[in-house]
Structure 1
Amino acid sequence: MADSLNRPAVLLVLHDVAPSTWTDYRPFVEAVDALGDVPMTWLVVPNFHRHNNLDAHTDFRRLLSARVARGDELALHGYFHDDQEPGPTTPRDWFMRRIYTHEGEFYHLSREAALARLRAGIDLFRRYDWPLQGFVAPAWLMSDGARQALRELPLSYTSDPQHLYRLPDFTSIDAPGLVWSARSAWRRGLSKIISDQREQHWRQAPVIRLGLHPVDMRHEFSRHYWLNTLERLLNEGRVPMTKVNWLAQQRGQQEHAA
């Protein structure tokens, strides 16, 4: 146990988890399970794109409950994972909401609107007895109102591509992450080049996050990259952990040092 506390970690994170994306993820998850005890963090969307309401998908909820029993973590990932707020009014907002992504659900929300969606997500987790500590905004985009809302709720962390943040004070913790843009062949090729460079740069990092998306699973090139990268990091001695367990370990080490 003491040895594992001193070893670097790898966090495998599945984004956009919903009934409609399980078909994409299933072969990959089965391949990871075959590697042994590799816990994952599943970023669950309560009603993905407004036509995947988890309340209506009993079998998928059972699957998620089984993953929790196995040792995986479920985190809240927005509520709808789409952006249907009033149109952008500035060039920056136009870029962020129409070019960078159409799914930045929490990018433009007021505190009151963010609270309503966050509370609805928390209520769903409670209905199905799923432990909940973390929230990740779709596309990692949050308005000031969304940040204010998070300070008022019983959640312990959120994140962006390169950091985890303890709530409610948004204490920043370096947690570098690899993520791909896999919508086209040239994007996949460029993503691999960038990811290979970043992985080498982060060889001594205490933790590396692997942020997977359903589109990554639809292409053999990107799917194999993620599985091969996970295996390589495990073979190099990194300990696979969920986000919440890694954060708990860091807090324990800080308290012990104090």
Structure 2
Amino acid sequence: MNAELIVSISGIRDTTTDAAFEFAEQMDRRGVPLSLLVAPRLKGKYRLLDDPATQEWLRSRRAGGDAIVLHGYDQAATKRRRAEFAALPKHEARLRLTAADRVLEQVDVRTRLFAAPRWNASTGALEVLPELGFRLALGLTSIIDLERNTALKSRVYGLGEGFRAEPWWCRALVLGAARTARRGGILRLAVSAVQLQRPGPRQAMLDAVDLALFHGAVGATYRWEPFPAARAA
């Protein structure tokens, strides 16, 4: 059985769009769609609402087959040394998710898919997601179907945003991607747009994708599959 290859980019903003755009073009040439992890706010007072160029790019990429994934609200640590949603109680998670959801709806890239910053969501966050209409939660080692209450085991191989990006890790990522592609299943590759600005990590991600394709992997995006009856209707 051929592996399914899911490639995601995070940290897309005004200062990283050139690298993200160029990498997306490389993926287009390879026939690999992207999953774009989007946060309404980022460090340095970045606001997606104030960035019409990135908004337009996100809309055009989704129209072309890419997936949009909500990636937190502002990615600020809510506790020392913890990612934004890693330790949030249910009430606070609801507030942040609701605010983020409204922004994405306002810029016409609303999604029912969620990946917490650094792929780490608290129990409270996971509990409130389906109540707000989210259908898929992406964790570091699993993809959770919130409607069916099932989890598919699959680990993220990443560069940046919580993952290392030194040369030895880049080599390990490429080798790990090749092993997973040979075995079949789901190969999840993640890269931050900041790391795509660096030649080493960028080339490592391209090499990982190329090796996966060489071993027969097929490009895909994060997605939620409707129930059979709903699909038929």
Match for 1:166: what amino acid? D
The answer to whether structure 1 residue 141 and structure 2 residue 141 are counterparts is: no
Write the mapping of 1:204-219 to structure 2, written as runs, cut at 5 A: 204-219=183-198
* Alignment of 1:7 onto 2:2: yes
Equivalent residue for 2:15, pick from 16, 20, 41: 20
Match of 1:189 in 2: 167
Separation in structure 2 between the aligned mates of residue 113 and residue 176 of structure 1, nearest angstrom? 27
Indicate the residue corresponding to 2:29 in structure 1: 34
CA distance in 1, matches of 2:44, 2:102: 17
The 5 A counterparts of 1:113-124 are 113-124=92-103
Deviations 1:118-140 (A, max 9, x none): 11122222223325121000012
Work out the CA distance in 1 between the residues paired with 2:175 and 2:211. Answer: 15
- For the residue of structure 2 that corresponds to 1:20, the secondary structure is coil
Which residue number in structure 2 is paired with residue 76 of structure 1?
70
Alignment partner, residue 248 of structure 1: 225
Cα shift at 1:174: 1.8
Separation in 1 of the partners of 2:187 and 2:51? 33
Give 1:31 deviation, angstroms: 2.1
Structure 1 residue runs of 4 or more that deviate by more than 4 Å after TM superposition: 181-184
Partner of 1:57: 51
Greater fraction of residues in strand: 2
2:18 and 2:44 mapped to 1: Cα distance?
18
Are the structure 2 counterparts of residues 188 and 21 from structure 1 closer, same or farther at C-alpha, using a change threshold of 3 Å?
same
Q: CA deviation at 1:109?
A: 2.0
Q: Do the aligned partners of 2:16 and 2:194 also contact (CA within 8 Å) in 1?
A: no
Partner of 1:92: none
Tell me: CA distance 1:183–1:204, structure 2 relative to 1, closer, same or farther (3 Å).
closer
Describe the shift of the 1:227–1:127 C-alpha distance in structure 2 as closer, same or farther (beyond 3 A): same
Name the one with the larger helix percent: 1
Q: Percent identity?
A: 22
Task: Check the 8 A contact 2:5/2:217 in 1, yes or no.
Answer: yes
CA distance in 2, matches of 1:121, 1:151: 15
CA distance in structure 1 between the partners assigned to 2:179 and 2:62 by the alignment:
33
Q: Unaligned regions of 5+ residues in structure 2, if any? A: none
Structure 1 residue 187 displacement after superposition: 5.0
**CA offset at residue 29 of structure 1?**
2.0
- In the TM superposition, what are the counterparts of 1:167-246 in structure 2 within 5 Å? 167-168=146-147, 170-181=149-160, 187-202=165-180, 203-244=182-223
Normalised TM-score (structure 1) = 0.78
The alignment covers a number of residue pairs equal to 228
Which of structures 1 and 2 has the bigger CA Rg? 1
